Each structure stands twice: as structure tokens, then as C-alpha cells.
């Protein structure tokens, strides 16, 4: 790692920028931050470091969620092997058992992500992994409907943090244009779980009667036991946040965290998220819309996951054949989703791919709705359903999550999207009832309606992001934000730009030409004279100005002509102050490079405090430029200089009739000196006083 000091160029450089390694030589992997350039450690390259991160982050999260999803939906496989019959479930009791899972799963998404930050990801996720694995195992021992309801409730409670927690964690490791294929690979743990679950159930089903247990019980016992065993290893294998990763060297950690500021600034994993933070995040209507994007797809996704084996069974297959026939649609969805994910990252496009995939799912449901006498066509339609729904979902989640800036908004926002979205699971459960078999007209119709809702939400979300981007373009901030301010504001920062269709820059932060303050140069004397005359006109004394360009050049201490056009240094570098050159002048430079305001000042002295200070002779901002914070910025620059010299005070006077200025000064902390009367001697009075003798 190397730190290369560099000065800001005109004060207008991006606060964080990154040279994409996919478009550069590895030897030039450099992260540009406010203070320094952070170079990739000499022992590695950006590409090798990304491969190392991929190896430590993605596989273990994928396996964790594969087991979680397997334990969640294996009840569908168990039911094919006689769960409902042995427990004596009547009418919609099976559906109710499925619904119970979603109650805690929905309610505790946000609290779980808050706790994930408090306890570290590897601790919180592995603990929950152990608990939901144990609950799944116990599900295989239930003897009645009440026992099934209880285990399903606790299964939902302990699984609540798996999905949003993992999505949130992935989002804190990767930049926005790198994330989609990682999100999709992780998300497609669900399709692997579906395929693997069908194969495993087909094998386990043959154990029916072993030790007196039916085949459906062994599905729960074996798959739950696998999860419990894995949880002990995953305590050591699951990743934490980049700032906490023990498998990165200090140099690599520094480089990676600098690299990630492109997306979340100084996000700060150490900052604790509170429930107050959650309430503030949920006030944002973009967050609400993000929930509806996911909500619309959860209905068809869970409709398929829970009821595909039952639907396939209506084609006349045996239980073992049903399990095996459930595998190919999941496998096709896995391959298709990853293909689309790589394409999405390649062209840095999200919305179009999401809507395209949703339309494929709609085509599948429309086929199922209209074709009832051809099982081959219906089976082919199941491929379209899984390929469409399980491809669109990770794109939507990635698009939404990577538009959220900072740890706090991303942790809360991701949990909200998944939690609210899973309300759709309840709808899916009651959309497919046994009495509607084999046509399931109501279920397929409901799925089509909700996929259309998802498209509408996607279009609305994209329109809202475009609107906010344009609004922020039209209203640039008064000053450049610090990294801490960006971390606190997240994607609400006025410089932040959300993704709509094309991610053309690595950084989500938009760089404005910022207004700056600098000390005047000799060649600025004509501009200073013009500003002085405008001030005289404003104060209703147009003929009182006697200054000239020559007199200004003779009495003001100027900065060198080659000084940077950037914010004034705290200790100014100008010509020396002298009795004949007592004043300095600050100029307010607009983003367009025009001088639009000034502050003429000189040093004074406090007798009682024995300390220097600054006296502001004149402060002026052009009428057309007022309301942009320029006066405040000039005063703040002067105040910083007083503080830097351990000065006593900053003084100035204002005309009594100038009420707008008086109110402005009071608003920034200045106060009237009512006990003092200003005194002055000038003109003939000054000469007379000078000639007084004893």
C-alpha cells in the first residue's frame, strides 16, 4: 500500500473516484480519496483481491442460504410423502401451517439486521443457522397439527435474518457494477435448493419405515441435522464486514475499504443502527416502492416453491417421480439467472433485464392458465415460471440495495424490502388450494396479477429515481459534503445519484463544480473595485466610493498570481501585511468561475485579552447570487482564520436600517453591541485632530 499526497485541483475533483481495473493495468489500481491516493498492495492486484473476496464471501453465504431455503420449503416434498395424511390435516390446515412461517419472518426482518450489526455477521448468522436447523429436525418429530404450527413459527423466527442479512452483507463488499452476478449467484441458492431438495427427497423417501419413521419425517430430520452440523463450521467461515475481516492484511483491508467508499463513503460498520434510524429510513417513499417491486414477485416465487411438487403430482407421477421431475425447472432457472446476471453487469443495466424476466414468468403462468389438457406443455410452462421469477428477483433486490447508500440505510432498506415482500408468501399459500386442483385457475391468475404489480412498481421506482436525480442536478449543494456527512445521509445526500438504467460511473456521487473562496490576486483589483461600487450603490451612497484600481493594488495584500483557484487556506499566503498594505480580500468564486462576492478585512487587537482578531471592513455578495450560502461561507472562512491564530474575536459593523443583514448575522451567532457607540474621525476632522498640540 502506498499513500501519495496530492493537492486538490480547483476544488472540483470527485470526493471519491476509482479507476476501474477492468479498464486499466493492474499496476495502476489506485483509489482516489480526499486526502491521498490509496494504491493496491504490491503483493496483489485488484483482480486477485476480488477473487480472494469472492472465495471468502460468496460460497459460504450461498451454502448457508441453500440450507435455509431447503429447510423452509422441504415441507412441500414432505407432503408428497404423506405428511398431511399422517398428521390428519384437514381442508386448509396445511396452508395455514405454511402461513405461520411468514408471521415472524416478516415482523423480525429489520430487528434482525440491526442485531446482525451489533453481534457481527458470523456470530448472528451462525447462531440462527443452528436454531433453524434444530427446529427443522424437530419438525420431523411432530405428532399433530399443533406441533407442526409451533415448529413452523419458530422456523420463520430463526430464518428471518438469513436472506436480508446476506444481501446486506454482499452489498457492503462489492461496488454497484460488480454486484449483480454475486447477488444472482447467492440468490440462486434457492434454485439449487429446489433442485437439490427434489433429488434429496427422492433418495430420503426410500428410507420410509426406517426406525419406524415415515419418509417425510426423515426429510426433516436429515436436512435439519445437516444444517445443525454445518452451523458449527460456519461460525468460523461466514464473513464479516470488510472493516472486520481477519483474512485481509492491514494493507488489503485499507485498500478494500477505500475502494468501497465509491458506494457508501465512510459507511462505518462500527456505527450502531437504532430503531430510530429504522423509522427515519421507512419515511422515504422510494423504500416503500422497493418493497412492492419484491412483493409482486414473491407471490409467484413461493407459489411455485411450495406447490410445484403438488402440481407435478397431478400429472399422474409417483411420489419419487414427482420429486425427480421437480428438479429440471430449478436447474434451468439457475443457469438462466446467472446468464442474465453476467449480461446485466456487462452492460451495467438493471431495469430492462428485470422487466424482461418478469414477462417470461407471465408467459409461463398464462400458458398454465390457458392449457389444461397437455401435461408436456404445462411442464414446459413451469420452466418459464421459474426462469422468469427467480431471475427477476435478484436483479430487483440488487438494483434496490445498491441504490441505498451507507450501512444504516442499506441494512434497514434491505430488511424492509425482504420483510414486506414476504407478505406475498401468505397470499401465495392461499392462492393454491387443494380444491382448485388440477387447473389452479385462481392461483395462476393471482400470480399474473402480482407479477404485473411488480412491473408497475419497477417502472415507478425508476421514474422516481430519475426525478430525484434531475431535482438534485438542478439544485447543487452549497458546499462539498464531507465523507462523514455522506455516510450519515447515505443515498439522501444531494450529490448521490441512483441507478435507473445505465451505470456509467463507478461512483454514485455526482461531482459539481463547487463555489470556492480564495484570496484575491493583483489582477483581481478591477473586480474588487466593481464589487465595492455595487456595495456603495446598495448602501445608498453611490458617490461615496473613491477607490480606484491603482489604490486597491497599493493597499491590499494580494495572493500570488499562480495560487490555486481553491478554497482559501486557513493561514493565508499573501503579500506581507504592512501599514501601507493593511488589508486582505477574500473573493467568492461561483461554480462558473466568476467573482460574485468579497470580504475585505484586516487584523485588530483586543487589549483586555491580549490577543489578535479580525475586523471585517466590508462583506458583499451580488444580489443575483444571494440565498446560496455565499455570505455564510465567507464569514466561516474568516472565523476559521481567527481560530487558527488563537484570536479573540471577529468584528464588523452594519447599518441600522439594514434589517435583512442584521437578522442574517444573528442567525449565525453574531450579537449586537448595544452598549457601544461607534466613533469615527475622518476628512477635515482627522487633519484637525492630527494638528492638535499641547
Whether residue 216 lies inside any domain: the answer is no
C-alpha cell at 435: 380444491
Q: Tell which of 422, 443, 474 closes a domain.
A: 474
C-alpha cell at 561: 498570481
- Cβ burial 179-197 (10 Å sphere, 16+ → b, else e): bbbbbbbbbbbbbbbbbbb
Range of the domain at 403: 30-209+250-263+275-474
> Which are the contacts of 608, defined by CB distance < 8 A and separation ≥ 6?
none
Summarised one tens digit per residue, pLDDT across range 115-137 is: 887 888 899 999 999 999 999 99
Total domains, the chain: 2
Average pLDDT score, the chain: 83
Residues 589 and 518: beta-carbon distance below 8 Å: yes
Report whether pLDDT(389) > 90: yes
pLDDT-based confidence at residue 181 (cuts at 50, 70, 90) = confident
Check which CATH number belongs to the domain holding 533 and give it.
3.40.630.30
Residue 102 and residue 39 share a domain: yes
Report whether pLDDT(570) > 60: no
Cross-strand partners of 602 = 615
Check which CATH number belongs to the domain holding 305 and give it.
1.20.1250.20
Q: What is the DSSP code string of 46-86?
A: HHHHHHHHHHHHHHHHHHHHHHHHHHHHHHHHHHHTTHHHH
Q: What's the pLDDT score for residue 418?
A: 85
Sheet order of strands, 650-651 included: 516-519, 584-589, 595-606, 611-621, 650-651
Whether residue 379 lies inside any domain: the answer is yes
Report whether pLDDT(270) > 60: no
DSSP state of 21: G
Q: Tell which of 409, 440, 474 closes a domain.
A: 474
Residue 452 and residue 352 share a domain: yes
Residue 520 and residue 442 share a domain: no
pLDDT-based confidence at residue 4 (cuts at 50, 70, 90) = very low
Residue 644 and residue 556 share a domain: yes
Question: How far is residue 92's CA from residue 56's CA, in Å, rounded to a whole number?
Answer: 44
Summarised one tens digit per residue, pLDDT across range 320-351 is: 888 888 889 989 999 999 999 888 878 778 88
Whether residue 284 lies inside any domain: the answer is yes
Q: What is the DSSP code string of 326-355?
A: THHHHHHHHHHHHHHHHHHHHHTB-HHHHH
Least confident of 345-349, 582-586, 595-599: 345-349
Whether residue 63 lies inside any domain: the answer is yes
Q: Tell which of 422, 447, 474 closes a domain.
A: 474
- Pick from 490-494, 508-512, 662-666 the range whose average pLDDT is largest: 662-666
Residue 599 and residue 457 share a domain: no
Three-state secondary structure call for residue 106: helix
Residue 291 and residue 173 share a domain: yes
Residue 648 and residue 594 share a domain: yes
Would you call the peptide bond into 459 cis, given omega within 30 degrees of 0 as the criterion? no
Residue 594 and residue 449 share a domain: no
Report whether pLDDT(499) > 80: no
Closest to 292 in 3D by CA, of 140, 450, 490: 450
Whether residue 291 lies inside any domain: the answer is yes
DSSP state of 583: B
Report whether pLDDT(6) > 60: no
Strands 650-651 and 611-621: parallel
Residue 565 and residue 442 share a domain: no
Whether residue 497 lies inside any domain: the answer is no
Residue 553 and residue 467 share a domain: no
Biggest distance spanned by C-alpha atoms of the chain:
126
Residue 521 and residue 458 share a domain: no
Query: Which stretches within 403-482 are classed as H helix?
Result: 407-421, 423-431, 441-474
Residues 199 and 330: beta-carbon distance below 8 Å: no
- Cα dihedral: 131, 136, 137, 142 (round 10): 120
Whether residue 482 lies inside any domain: the answer is no
Question: How far is residue 28's CA from residue 38's CA, in Å, rounded to a whole number?
Answer: 10
pLDDT-based confidence at residue 540 (cuts at 50, 70, 90) = confident
pLDDT-based confidence at residue 505 (cuts at 50, 70, 90) = very low
Whether residue 425 lies inside any domain: the answer is yes
Residue 189 and residue 315 share a domain: yes
Q: What length does the chain have?
A: 694
Amino acid at each position: 500500500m502506498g499513500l501519495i499526497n496530492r493537492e486538490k485541483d480547483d476544488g472540483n475533483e470527485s470526493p471519491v473516484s476509482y479507476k476501474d481495473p477492468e479498464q486499466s493495468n493492474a499496476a495502476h489500481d489506485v483509489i482516489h480519496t480526499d486526502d491521498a491516493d490509496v494504491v493496491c498492495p504490491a503483493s496483489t492486484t485488484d483482480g486477485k483481491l476480488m477473487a480472494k473476496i469472492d472465495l471468502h464471501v460468496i460460497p459460504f453465504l450461498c451454502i448457508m442460504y441453500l440450507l435455509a431455503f431447503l429447510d423452509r420449503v422441504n415441507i412441500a416434498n414432505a407432503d408428497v410423502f404423506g405428511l398431511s395424511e399422517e398428521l390428519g390435516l384437514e381442508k386448509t390446515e396445511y396452508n395455514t401451517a405454511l402461513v405461520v412461517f411468514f408471521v415472524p419472518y416478516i415482523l423480525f426482518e429489520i430487528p434482525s439486521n440491526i442485531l446482525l450489526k451489533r453481534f457481527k455477521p458470523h456470530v448472528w448468522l451462525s447462531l440462527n443457522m443452528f436454531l433453524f436447523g434444530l427446529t427443522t429436525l424437530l419438525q420431523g418429530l411432530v405428532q399433530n397439527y399443533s406441533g407442526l404450527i409451533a415448529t413452523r413459527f419458530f422456523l420463520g423466527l430463526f430464518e428471518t435474518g438469513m436472506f436480508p442479512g446476506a444481501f446486506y452483507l454482499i452489498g457492503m463488499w462489492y461496488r454497484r457494477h460488480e454486484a449483480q452476478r454475486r447477488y444472482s449467484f447467492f440468490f440462486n441458492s434457492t434454485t439449487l435448493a429446489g433442485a437439490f431438495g427434489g433429488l434429496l427427497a427422492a433418495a430420503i423417501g426410500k428410507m420410509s419405515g426406517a426406525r419406524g419413521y415415515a419418509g417425510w419425517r426423515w426429510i426433516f430430520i436429515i436436512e435439519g441435522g445437516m444444517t445443525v452440523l454445518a452451523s458449527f463450521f460456519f461460525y468460523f467461515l461466514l464473513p464479516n464486514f470488510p472493516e472486520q475481516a481477519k483474512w485481509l492484511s492491514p494493507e488489503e483491508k485499507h485498500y478494500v475499504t477505500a475502494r468501497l467508499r465509491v458506494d457508501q463513503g465512510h459507511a462505518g460498520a462500527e456505527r450502531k443502527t437504532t430503531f430510530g434510524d429504522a423509522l427515519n429510513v421507512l419515511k422515504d417513499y422510494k423504500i416503500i416502492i422497493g418493497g412492492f417491486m419484491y412483493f409482486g414477485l414473491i407471490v409467484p416465487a413461493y407459489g411455485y416453491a411450495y406447490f410445484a411438487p403438488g402440481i407435478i403430482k397431478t400429472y399422474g407421477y409417483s411420489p419419487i417421480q414427482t420429486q425427480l421431475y421437480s428438479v429440471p425447472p430449478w436447474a434451468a432457472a439457475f443457469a438462466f439467472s446467472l446468464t442474465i446476471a453476467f449480461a446485466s453487469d456487462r452492460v451495467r443495466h438493471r431495469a430492462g433485464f428485470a422487466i424482461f424476466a418478469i414477462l417470461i414468468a407471465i408467459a409461463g403462468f398464462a400458458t398454465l392458465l390457458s392449457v389444461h389438457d397437455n401435461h408436456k406443455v404445462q411442464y414446459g410452462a413451469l420452466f418459464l415460471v421459474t426462469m422468469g421469477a427467480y431471475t427477476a428477483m435478484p436483479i430487483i433486490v440488487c438494483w434496490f440495495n445498491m441504490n441505498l447508500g451507507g450501512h444504516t440505510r442499506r441494512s434497514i432498506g434491505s430488511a424492509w424490502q425482504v420483510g414486506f415482500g414476504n407478505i406475498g408468501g401468505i397470499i401465495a399459500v392461499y392462492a393454491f388450494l387443494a380444491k382448485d386442483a388440477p387447473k389452479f385457475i385462481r392461483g395462476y391468475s393471482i400470480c399474473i396479477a402480482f407479477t404485473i404489480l411488480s412491473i408497475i412498481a419497477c417502472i415507478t421506482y425508476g421514474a422516481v429515481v430519475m426525478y430525484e436525480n434531475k431535482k438534485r442536478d438542478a439544485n447543487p449543494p452549497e458546499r462539498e459534503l464531507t465523507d462523514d456527512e455522506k455516510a450519515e445521509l447515505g443515498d439522501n445526500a444531494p450529490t448521490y445519484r441512483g441507478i435507473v438504467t445505465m451505470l456509467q460511473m463507478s461512483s454514485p456521487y455526482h461531482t459539481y463544480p463547487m463555489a470556492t473562496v480564495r484570496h484575491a490576486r493583483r489582477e483581481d483589483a478591477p473586480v474588487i473595485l466593481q464589487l465595492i461600487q455595487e456595495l456603495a450603490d446598495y448602501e445608498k451612497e453611490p458617490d461615496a466610493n473613491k477607490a480606484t484600481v491603482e489604490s486597491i493594488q497599493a493597499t491590499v495584500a494580494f495572493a500570488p498570481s499562480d495560487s490555486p483557484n481553491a478554497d482559501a487556506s486557513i493561514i493565508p499566503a499573501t503579500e506581507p501585511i504592512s501599514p501601507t498594505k493593511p488589508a486582505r480580500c477574500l473573493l467568492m468564486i461561483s461554480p462558473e468561475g466568476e467573482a460574485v462576492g468579497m470580504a475585505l478585512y484586516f487584523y485588530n487587537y483586543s487589549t483586555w485579552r491580549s490577543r489578535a482578531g479580525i475586523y471585517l471592513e466590508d462583506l458583499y455578495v451580488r444580489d443575483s447570487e444571494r440565498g446560496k450560502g455565499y455570505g455564510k461561507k465567507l464569514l466561516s472562512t474568516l472565523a476559521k482564520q481567527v481560530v487558527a491564530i488563537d484570536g479573540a474575536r471577529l468584528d464588523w459593523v452594519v447599518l441600522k436600517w439594514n434589517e435583512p443583514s442584521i437578522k442574517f448575522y444573528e442567525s449565525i451567532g453574531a450579537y449586537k453591541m448595544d452598549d457601544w457607540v461607534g466613533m469615527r474621525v475622518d476628512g477635515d476632522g482627522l487633519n484637525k485632530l492630527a494638528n492638535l498640540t499641547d
